[in-house]
A and B are shown apart, each in its own frame.
Chain A
Amino acid sequence: MVAQFLGLKLRLLANSFRRGPWQVIGMLIALAYGIAAVSLAVAALAALRTASIAVATGITVTAGSLVVLCFLLLPLAFGADDTLDPRAFALFGLPTTKLAAILALTSVIGVPAIFIIVVSIAQVVTWTRSPLATFLAILGAIVIIATCLLGSRVTAAIASSVLATRRAREVSVLVVLILIVSISPIITIALSRGWAAGAPQILERIARVVGWTPLGAAWAAPADAAAGHPGSAVLKALVGLAFLAVLALAWRALIGWMLVSAPRISRERSDSGLGWFRRLPSTPFGAVAARSITYWIRDARYRTTLIAVPAAPLVFAVILAVAGVPWTLLALIPIPVMCLFLSWSVHNDVASDNSAIWLHVASNTAGWADRLGRTIPALIIGIPLVLIGSPLFSALSGAPGILPSMLGVSFCILFAGLGLSSVISARFPYASVRPGDSPFAQPQAAGTSAGLIQSMAFVLTLVFSTPPVYFAVRGMIDGAVWTGWSLLVGIGFGLLVFAGGVAWGGAIFSKRAPELLAFTLRN
């Protein structure tokens, strides 16, 4: 029985290599990254063998806890691989405990599993300093491996059962995303300021606290033993074992519960009236615009964009601030960058509709109406953003005279970017996340050229914004007259590209509508 399950998991793993040449290349690249990361970790752990106990403790416990945390949290956000979903075995009538044990065992086969097994073993090398430390390191390795693998199965099971409703899933994804976004600047600052102030001390302080938590206990036990505190070492080992026992019980309970309960059906939500359809004109263009706005509000895939737009320049600015770029320059960045991401975010809009696009094809919707309607949500957000944000940030920069340039450059990026996206999404669609899937799920058949198209849309938008940027730079050097030109040229040229893009994209859409539908069906 165990052999059958392990064989099944191996076959599933092998089959994931059989999808398409580009996917295999993608996986090989990911694999190469993984091997590099693991080798680095192993080398570091081996090198720590000769380091002082305090330094080694700080690094292994902090980094180790972070790894365990990732194993626990990532399945919650990204929906882990549930190829061996317990529910799939509900009809075979296996005893629950046996099924739980076997399924837990199968998680040993997998790429993340190999990573954590190798790292845990390498961690033993760091701590072979005394018999007790060696023993606790070996025990710790087993506990770490079991905690990570079982923990990720438990959170994945929670994600697929308790959080299975559409609403709950969307909310949990957003919560984790906000966590990640809010943590990243903190980490950036902590790292840059921290190294200067003496990182080892900070890491040791973190390790002292985290070492007592279930996340770090198994990592910290051998360190305490090596430092000559056998009492606390054994206690920490017990904390790790106790957490593992809790996970095992939770896993057994979850399986028992999942086997007898049907997948949860989302609570039906009512939405009164026609919403945006009532507010916008009753024409094909108005209907497409209303539909797009409704989707931007309701669909998790678009809502992640809405969070990424303000987050991207924030992270960007924090990193540059840490690197020592003065505030007066930094204040120029956020608004244009937000416009860039906003206009770029619709460059694959047709693919997000998936095969629902048939409705536009069957009703012979005019290409320009489809193209223009899809840009409306970005314009509704973008135009107020530029009008309110630009005065604010030019005041912050300490050079209010820059305002016309900032308006010109931002509007040009917004308009020209949307025009380009209109053409690109009609001409070069690539596989996208399907409706209802997690925004982070991998598209089933990743296109051959997704990355190429993404960068093309990005770079072309930047190219088309050079005219107002040129005048903005002259405005900084040669005086304020040029900033007016930047405003005029920015808005004028931007609108020109926008109109051209909508017209050209519309023509492409009208001509290629059946091919676009065929593309979404292959997806």
Chain B
Amino acid sequence: MSTVAPAAQEAPAEQEAPAEQEALAEKTAPEKYVLELADLTKSFGATHAVDHISLSVPTGSIFGIVGPNGAGKTTTLSMVTGLLRPDSGRVTVHGADVWKDPAAAKRNMGVLPDRLRLFDRLTGGQLLHYAGTLRGLDRKTVRKRSADLAIAFGLEDALHRLVTDYSAGMTKKIALASAMIHSPRLLVLDEPFESVDPVSAASVTEILQNYVAAGGTVVLSSHSMDLIQRICDFVAIVVEGSVLASGTTDEVRGTGSLEDRFVELAGGRKTAEGMEWLHSFSD
């Protein structure tokens, strides 16, 4: 997996610092936290989609962001990746401010947005080439990495077909491959496992874990609590634009499962009353 490892490896960060992590460490050195969000806000009209979110993502970890639909996960990640201008607040990637020094910050970041189109009239191979070239890679490197990524994601046979003819899961995989091709320090993935089959999800997970072992950092959002609990070192629960809990996965989930904790924080289950008619079937 040398193709997806960060260009320059850093000394693996210490991960035994949950207490400091809770304290939203503001004065930490850039090597320790590759991504920091400080007081990020975004409103659409009267709705506060993101309401003063601050997070620090330690280098060399998988950081999960979970939350109910419409909690502001995608909005937050869009502001992190430079796709959506925040109303206020600061995002730094490897010490560079995303909104003041986008060139440096974006160079270190690989992005998988949710529900945005791809240039889908290109073939898979062309799309990878396009993404790599826009990131400034030369022809030889792009060709080598495209071939490696295609094997890693099981897309060898699909590289010559138009992306518009891909299934939803394959589209997600080619987008993931495009996000990694320039070997960034940080991967920001919005719903990377949505509509990906279990076999591919397992191989994607393995790719991400190897990448993290080599010093890379992954921030991902997902609806699948099991998956987050299994692969994430850190987790933040976001509800209505605010962080309700964050820390190591074990801290956040406490004694129960992450799903229980999440449902509790997100406002509890709605009991389905008045649906008795569903139990008596019409002829």
Residues of A participating in the B interface, judged by any CB pair closer than 8 Å: 166, 266, 268-275, 277, 282-284, 286-288, 290-291, 294-295, 298-299, 353-356, 358-365, 435-436, 514-515, 517-518, 521
B182, chain A: closest CB distance, angstroms = 8
Q: Do A362 and B82 touch across chains, with their CB atoms under 8 A apart?
A: yes
Interface size on B, residues (CB 8 A): 40
Q: Does B129 contact A514, Cβ atoms closer than 8 Å?
A: no
Q: Which residues B119-160 have CB closer than 8 A to chain A?
A: 119-123, 125-126, 129-131, 133-139, 142, 160
Residue of A nearest to B111 (CB): A362
A selection of 7 A-B contacts at a CB cut-off of 8 Å is: A294-B121, A294-B126, A298-B162, A362-B83, A362-B106, A363-B106, A517-B83
Knowing that A282-B133, A364-B103 touch, tell me 4 more A-B residue pairs with CB under 8 angstroms: A268-B162, A274-B129, A294-B122, A295-B119
**Do the beta carbons of A272 and B131 come within 8 Å of each other?**
no
Task: Report whether A514 and B84 are in contact in the complex, using a CB–CB cutoff of 8 Å.
Answer: yes
B117 in the interface (beta carbon within 8 A): yes
9 cross-chain pairs, A with B, having the tightest CB-CB distances, nearest first: A287-B133, A282-B139, A356-B117, A364-B106, A355-B116, A362-B111, A363-B134, A270-B160, A355-B117
User: Is the beta-carbon distance between A364 and B102 smaller than 8 angstroms?
Assistant: yes
Would you give the shortest CB distance from A366 to chain B, in whole angstroms? 9
Q: Could you tell me which residues of chain B, from 80 to 105, have a CB within 8 Å of some CB in chain A? A: 81-85, 102-103
- A274-B125 CB under 8 A given contacts A269-B161, A291-B119, A435-B117: yes
Provide the bound-state CA to CA distance between A271 and B118, in Å: 18
CA separation between A360 and B131, bound complex, in Å? 9
Counting CB contacts under 8 A, is B39 at the interface?
no
The distance from the CB of B77 to the nearest CB of chain A, in whole angstroms, is 11
Query: In the complex, what residues of B have CB within 8 A of residue A270's CB?
Result: 160-161
Identify which of B81, B85, B126, B138 contacts A362 (C-beta below 8 A): B81
Partner of A364, one of B107, B116, B126: B107
* In the assembled complex, B226 has its CB within 8 A of some CB on chain A: no
A273 contacts across to B, CB distance below 8 A: 125, 160
| Residues of chain B with a CB closer than 8 A to A521's CB | 116
Instruction: Establish whether residues B138 and A299, one from each chain, have CB atoms under 8 Å apart when the complex forms.
Output: no
A299 surroundings in chain B (CB, below 8 A):
121
Beta-carbon contacts under 8 Å, B51-101 to A: 81-85
B84 touches A518 (CB 8 A): yes
Task: For the complex formed, measure the closest distance between the CB of A166 and the CB atoms of chain B, giving whole angstroms.
Answer: 7
Report the bound CA distance from A283 to B126 in whole Å. Answer: 14
Give the distance in Å from the alpha carbon of A286 to the alpha carbon of B109 in the complex.
22
Q: Does chain A have a CB within 8 A of B164? A: yes
B165 at interface by CB-CB < 8 Å: yes
Within 8 A of A (CB), among B2-39: none
Of the candidates A272, A284, A361, A518, the one having the most CB atoms from chain B within 10 angstroms of its own CB is A361
Task: Indicate which residue in A166, A284, A295, A517 contacts B133 across the interface (CB closer than 8 Å).
Answer: A284
Give the residue among B102, B113, B117, B131 with the most A Cβ atoms within 10 A: B117
A514 touches B117 (CB 8 A): no
For A360, list chain B residues within 8 Å (CB): 134
Chain A residues with Cβ below 8 Å from B126 are 274-275, 277, 291, 294
* B123 and A363 within 8 A (CB): no
* Contact with A361, one of B83, B121, B123, B136 (Cβ below 8 angstroms): B83
Q: Which residues of A contact B178 (CB under 8 A)?
A: 359
A361 and B120 in contact (CB under 8 A), knowing A282-B142, A287-B134?
no
Q: Which residue of B lies closest to A436 (CB)?
A: B164
CA distance A113 to B89 in the complex (A): 56
Q: What is the chain B residue whose CB lies nearest that of A299?
A: B121
CB-CB contacts below 8 Å: B186-206 with A: none
Q: Please report the C-alpha to C-alpha distance between residue A464 and residue B82 in the assembled complex, in whole angstroms.
A: 36
- B119–A356 CB distance below 8 A: yes
* Contact indicator B162/A269 (Cβ below 8 Å): yes
Cβ–Cβ < 8 Å partners of B134 in chain A: 284, 287-288, 359-360, 363, 365
With beta carbons under 8 angstroms apart, the residue of A166, A287, A358, A362 that contacts B164 is A166
**Set of chain A residues within 8 Å of B109, measured between Cβ atoms:** 362
Find chain B residues with CB under 8 A from A291 CB: 119, 122, 126, 130
Residues of B within 8 A of A269 (CB): 161-162, 165
Question: With A and B bound together, what is the CA distance between A353 and B135 in angstroms?
Answer: 19
Residue of A290, A358, A360 with highest tally of chain B CB at under 10 A: A358
- The answer to whether B136 touches A356 (Cβ under 8 A) is no
Residues in A neighbouring B130, C-beta threshold 8 A: 277, 287, 290-291, 359
Q: Is the CB of A283 within 8 A of B133?
A: yes
Q: Is A363 a contact partner of B165 (Cβ separation < 8 A)?
A: no
Residues of A within 8 A of B136 (CB): 284
The listed residue (A266, A359, A362) touching B165 by CB distance below 8 A is: A266
With CB as the reference atom, state the residue of chain B lying closest to A515: B85
A269 to B162, CA, bound (A): 7
Residues of A within 8 A of B111 (CB): 358, 362
Q: Which of B85, B137, B160, B162 contacts A272 (CB 8 A)?
A: B160
Determine how close the nearest CB of chain A comes to the CB of B185; give it in whole angstroms: 15
In the complex formed, the residue of B with least CB distance to A300 is B121
Who on chain B is nearest to A271 by CB? B123
- Complexed CA–CA distance, A277 and B130 (Å): 8
> Within the complex, what minimum Cβ distance (angstroms) separates A86 from chain B?
24
| B123 contacts A356, C-beta separation under 8 Å | no
> Which has the most chain B C-beta neighbours within 10 Å: A282, A294, A356?
A282
- The minimal Cβ–Cβ distance linking B249 to chain A, given in whole angstroms, is 28
**Max count, chain A CB within 10 A of own CB: residue among B109, B116, B133, B178:** B133
**How distant is B31 from chain A, measured CB to nearest CB, in Å?**
23
Cα A335 to Cα B276 with chains together (Å): 74
Given A359-B130, A518-B84, also A295-B117 (CB < 8 A): no
Contact between B133 and A356 (Cβ–Cβ < 8 Å)?
Answer: no
A272→B157 CA distance, assembly (Å): 11
Name the CB-closest residue of A to B179: A362
A268 contact from B81, B103, B113, B161, Cβ within 8 A: B161
For A517, what are the chain B residues with a Cβ–Cβ distance below 8 Å? 83-84
The CA-CA distance from A269 to B124 in the complex, in Å, is 12
* Nearest CB of chain B from residue A429's CB, rounded to whole Å: 15
Alpha-carbon distance A274/B134, docked complex (angstroms):
15
Tell whether, in the assembled complex, residue A271 and residue B121 are in contact, meaning their CB atoms are under 8 Å apart: no
A-side contacts of B106, CB under 8 Å: 362-364
